[in-house]
Amino acid sequence: MAHASEIVGKYSELVAQVALLANGWRVHESRTAEAYDILATDPLTGEFTKIQVKTIRQREDRNGDLVVYAKKGNGTAYDRADADYIIGVWAVEGEAPRVYMFENRLLGEYWASEARASERWVELPIALDRSRFAAKESA
């Protein structure tokens, strides 16, 4: 049976893919292990983007702040060769997950209060808006 942290990590990756797809990104699958979790095409620029996915934790000992630990297995921060962007998935028990995306600034930790998370990070809705895709098809 899979370890709980492995299940949560895979859940976060799948939710991140859903959020990217819902927001017009094209998500690619790799046949080999890579430093990034997701390779996606930016809907505005058409450029390939490497994305690292992390599960957001809420630190009760820090006034409930949200934190994304963005470190590799060796304890170092992700560099640009590893990821252009970080996606943090906040999964509160029994609620729909929230997905935040931000530029990889080469930090090992990213913090935001719950109230300011949507100001500091870009929130990607997971709800599908079909009109977004219909407009592109008719153009």
What is the C-alpha to C-alpha distance for residues 88 and 68, in angstroms, rounded to an integer?
Answer: 6
Domain ranges of the chain: 4-138
What pLDDT was estimated at residue 74?
94
Give the Cβ contact number of residue 95 at 10 Å. 8
- pLDDT interval class at 131 (50, 70, 90): confident
Q: How many Cα atoms occupy the beta-carbon half-sphere of 20 within 13 Å?
A: 30
pLDDT, tens digit, for every residue of 1-55? 678 888 889 999 999 999 999 999 999 988 998 989 999 999 999 999 999 999 9
Record: fold of 4-138: Trna Endonuclease; Chain: A, domain 1 (3.40.1350)
Q: What is the largest CA-CA distance in the chain?
A: 51
Give the Cβ contact number of residue 59 at 10 Å. 11
- Residue 132 is encoded by which pair of tokens? 């977004």
